[in-house]
Amino acid sequence: MVGLRTRYVDLNSRPELQVVVDREQGQYLGHPTTLLLPDGKTVLCVYPKGHGSGQILYKRSNNAGLTWSGRLTTPPSWATGKETPTIHRLIDASGKARLLLWSGLYPARTSLSVDEGTTWSELKPAGNWGGIVVMGALEPIRGQKGSYAAYFHDDGRFFADSKKATGVFTLYRTITTDGGLTWNAPTVVLNRSDLHLCEPGIIRSPNGKTLAMLLRENKRVRNSQVIFSKDEGLTWTEPRDLPAELTGDRHVGKYLKDGRLFIGFRDISPKGTGTVTDGDWVGWIGSFDDLEKGLPGQYRVRLKDNTSTWDCGYSGVEVLRDGTIVTTTYGHWDQDQPPYIMCVRFNPSKMPELHPYRNSQK
């Protein structure tokens, strides 16, 4: 068992912070992604009806996650979802905003909305390629209006639809220059067989000059890994271990109003090790400086106890104008029951047990 060097805060037994987003008797619901719209209160949530595959379901909250709509009407092609959907908001060079939903495996497909999620187009292939958790990370390219880089991984089965795993995990990057309408042929960021690096999550430094990419290690022989880029993703450093406090799956991070970072993820440790929250839905609070220096950060927060040994924690993370975190995921929240979707809402600045750093951070 690995000892955590951060302060540990357990929010599991705080039902006043928890809101059920969707639950269906006897039905597995999992792997949500969320998007907070510019009005600061509308949150969209998409997720598959099944374990990482199945019909793409869609809900909306008009009050920042306090209550949620019923399942909304979606295009017929959303019923053909094969994998975990993700949702993003992009702005093209003319200032026009559109929402973009991705659906993997092969081929990777996209659906667009030009009315902030009221209506959507049918899913259409983005190219003659595919991958896993498309797109786990999407980031604007600094200084290039309308241009974004999106990142995903594959294990050989779906990039060219070979259906055969190669033992090598490859991380890919694809670019749009027209606000998400078209995407170029993906290029390789890294590939490894000794480590299975996947499910990238990107965080930009406060000064905007550095990208940190946090990576799941799926062989379970090392901690999660991190790489850095100072040229908008053209080149990256060699992977290195993240501390145990940040080791897990599918990292999603956002800045809090006081400059700290909150990163949500599933706590999974390398084989033969473990933490007090192993297999649970957790969050980490620290700074970008901690990421760069390999420091443990300030807090490890257990958001919810997962009764499964691992199956939870693809977190949507949104930060409201008042500093409230609205984080959403699936999990086996009740013993011997299928997983369902829940959000947890809390404001660290108003919780004595999660007080800010005493000293200013970079």
For residues 176 and 150, the answer to whether their CB atoms sit within 8 Å is: yes
For residues 204 and 213, the answer to whether their CB atoms sit within 8 Å is: no
Helices within the chain (DSSP H only)? 288-293
Q: Tell me the pTM.
A: 0.96
Number of other CB atoms surrounding residue 322 within 10 Å: 11
Structural domains for the chain: 7-354 (2.120.10.10)
pLDDT of residue 4: 77
pLDDT of residue 357: 63
- Residue 148: how many CA atoms within 13 Å on its side-chain side? 23
Cis peptide before 105 (omega within 30 of 0): yes
pLDDT of residue 355: 82
Taking CB atoms within 8 Å and a gap of at least 24, the contacts of 9-13 are 9/299, 9/300, 9/301, 9/302, 9/353, 9/354, 10/301, 10/302, 11/301, 11/302, 11/303, 11/304, 11/344, 11/346, 12/280, 12/302, 12/303, 12/304, 12/305
pLDDT of residue 1: 60
- Residue 159: how many CA atoms within 13 Å on its side-chain side? 19
Strands (DSSP E) contained in 37-106 are 43-48, 56-61, 86-91, 97-103
Helix (H, G, I), strand (E, B) or coil at 304: strand
pLDDT of residue 361: 40
For residues 190 and 152, the answer to whether their CB atoms sit within 8 Å is: no
The pLDDT tens digits along the chain (362 residues) read: 667 789 999 999 999 999 999 999 999 999 999 999 999 999 999 999 999 899 999 999 999 999 999 999 999 999 999 999 999 999 999 999 999 999 999 999 999 999 999 999 999 999 999 999 999 899 999 999 999 999 999 999 999 999 999 999 999 999 999 999 999 999 999 999 999 999 999 999 999 999 999 999 999 999 999 999 999 999 999 999 999 999 999 999 999 999 999 999 999 999 989 899 999 999 999 999 999 999 999 999 999 999 999 999 999 999 999 999 999 999 999 999 999 999 999 999 999 999 886 543 43
